[in-house]
Amino acid sequence: MSASLDLHNASYVDGSATCPAVSGTTLDLQLGDVGPAGSAACRFLARVTTAATEVLLDDDFESGLTSWAVTSPAGPDQWSAVSTDSHSPNNSAFAIDSITTSDQQMTTTSPITMGTSTVLRFWHRYDFENRYDGGVVEISEDGGTTWVGTQNLFVSGGYPTSLFSTSNPLSGRPAFTGDSGGWKESVLSLDPYQGFDLMFRFRVGTDASVGAPGWWVDDVRLANEVGAIVSGTATASTPATTSQPAQLQTEIHEGGLLRVTTDPPVPSQITLDGVRMNRWGLNWLRVAPGSYELCFSDVIDWTAPPCQTVVIEDGTTTTAVGTFSQRGFLRVETSPPVPSTITIDGEPADDWGLWIDIDPGNYEVCFGAVADYATPPCQQVTVSAGALETVTGSFTPQPGSPGPAGHGLLRATTSPALPSMISINGNPADRWGLDWVKLAPGSYDVCFSDIHLYVAPDCRTVEVVAGQVTATEGVFEQLGDLRVVTAPPQPSTIYVDGLPRDAWGLWTDLPVGDHIVCFEGWAGFTPPCETTTLTALNTTIVEGTWP
């Protein structure tokens, strides 16, 4: 069954449909075969072509700081308009990196109402005493009474690092610091604040010693840059009998935005309904209404959160956070090295020794019997996040002592050799491989954790037989690294192989081979699609360039 739609004053967003689609004077959606009393649905996105960019603030400082209020809660120095350097014609706003403690603030004179897809852009050059002095951008929702940082709003040109803890009023915060190496553009998305009345301020903080040139800011622009995007759903349903006609219904929605972050920021691969999207986070991706499964890949030394369900609604921003917990490290040795089976809280891990990352907590480490040796007692160990604990099982000769009996051996390897965490029945055992660990006869589930630039193999069930070696190999598929950038930065949705992956840009790993990268039209221009070839373990860069 198919549906033919006239979108009137909107244009289809290429690649956004969840079914085969052909776009021309009409949009033709192929819903497939629908049996008796059945139904099928297809979601798609369209951009309204009548909406125009609305500029809320545009200041090149050629007329001075007329749109700004200047204050200095600490120190004598303050922002001023200067001609010593600029990005456009002559002037820029400037704050010096003082040799005394200072807090220099340049604030918009009145609140500005955020609209749809509001973006703050500014050009700047800075030269600060690295990590001691720096500058930040802050926003206020209550007319300037309270202020919050914007480090999570940057989509390009964000803070390079955090300041040290000093007498600086910005002590310990993420900030622009060090030397920018020339003029740079920074871009912030204000999508989470749609409908809010915001004030903005540029702020420089310095400590009590060592100065530097400072911070130049120019061409500050705040604008609702694009027209609205809507999403549509075409649904076909058939009656129980053929005597009744099939029904076709089409609904148009505004769609919603999905913002995903990892806390703390880690390079986890994010998937949405099984589709590889981007690493680290998603930058307010336009998504059709519906329910989606959001998952995060494993990251070495961290415990990934479980998958979660996100619900996208028209005209809203849905925010999801993947909270990762830092693991500690547990090293277990046998002295002298002997093939003792090491157990953690009663679960077999590996023989001979191990070195793994594990959730913080209290554990009991025990050692299996070895022929002709006295078995050392179990030991209690407390593992803390980020810290290493070492346990040594000291075996002393005891001729005639029996070894273990009635067991089989499990040998697990990774191909190629990778630091994947191998688990047995859901319990972490060891990284890289298992060295003929002794197990009671029976069935065991063996799984391999994710590794960047590889696809982990599926879990498998192995049968351990008494007196035999069971070998299993986890074969990892090598991926290529795809980086897509928009130049200058644009909130364009990026499509790879017809599927939306993220907005503004992305850096993700995908199967080796050819991929088609397309860009959503933005600000009246659409860069051409590009076919690119990914090779194993290498990074390929695709750039969508706007005039």
Within 8 A by CB and 6+ apart from 93, the residues are 61, 65, 68, 79, 80, 81, 82, 106, 202, 216, 217, 218
What kind of fold does domain 478-545 have according to CATH? Immunoglobulin-like (2.60.40)
What is the CATH number assigned to the segment(s) 406-475? 2.60.40.10
Q: Which amino acid is at 478?
A: Q
Question: Which phi and psi angles does 192 have, rounded to 5°?
Answer: -65, -15
The low-confidence residues of the chain, meaning pLDDT below 70, are 1-3, 5-11, 13-16, 23-26, 34-35, 37, 45-53, 225-255, 524
CA distances from 446 to 161, 426, 474 (A): 40, 8, 9
Query: In this structure, what DSSP letter does residue 75 have?
Result: S
Residue 131 has a CB neighbour count (10 Å cut-off) of 16
C-alpha–C-alpha distance, residues 434 and 20, integer Å: 46
C-alpha–C-alpha distance, residues 213 and 96, integer Å: 6
DSSP states of 238-259: --SSTTS--EEEEEEE--EEEE
The boundaries of every CATH 2.60.40.1120 domain in the chain are 256-325, 478-545
What kind of fold does domain 54-224 have according to CATH? Jelly Rolls (2.60.120)
Q: What is the pLDDT of residue 27?
A: 73
C-alpha–C-alpha distance, residues 28 and 331, integer Å: 60
C-alpha 145 chain-centroid distance: 32
Q: What is the pLDDT of residue 50?
A: 41
Within 8 A by CB and 6+ apart from 193, the residues are 114, 118, 139, 141
Q: What is the pLDDT of residue 111?
A: 96
Q: Using DSSP, state whether 192 is helix, strand or coil.
A: helix
What kind of fold does domain 256-325 have according to CATH? Immunoglobulin-like (2.60.40)
Q: What is the pLDDT of residue 176?
A: 97
The boundaries of every CATH 2.60.40.10 domain in the chain are 406-475
Question: Which phi and psi angles does 315 have, rounded to 5°?
Answer: 70, 15
Per residue in 340-395, pLDDT (tens digit) is: 999 999 999 999 999 999 999 999 999 999 999 999 999 999 999 999 999 999 99
Within 8 A by CB and 6+ apart from 304, the residues are 268, 296, 297, 298, 322, 324
Question: Which phi and psi angles does 191 have, rounded to 5°?
Answer: -55, -40
Residue 459: closest CA among 424, 435, 429: 424
In 416-538, DSSP assigns E strands to 421-424, 427-431, 433-439, 442-448, 454-455, 460-464, 469-475, 477-487, 493-496, 499-503, 505-511, 513-519, 530-534
158-163's contacts with Cβ under 8 Å and 24+ in sequence apart are 158/186, 161/131, 162/131, 163/131, 163/132, 163/133, 163/134, 163/205
Q: 């649904």: which residue's tokens?
A: 235
Q: What is the pLDDT of residue 154?
A: 85
Residue 420: closest CA among 455, 393, 392: 455
C-alpha–C-alpha distance, residues 110 and 325, integer Å: 41
Q: What is the pLDDT of residue 115?
A: 83
pTM over 0.75: no
Instruction: Beginning with the edge strand found earlier in the chain, give each strand of the sheet holding 256-263 in spatial order.
Output: 281-287, 256-263, 317-323
Q: What is the pLDDT of residue 293?
A: 96
Per residue in 97-140, pLDDT (tens digit) is: 999 999 999 999 999 999 877 889 999 999 999 999 999 999 99
CB–CB of 351/340 below 8 Å? yes
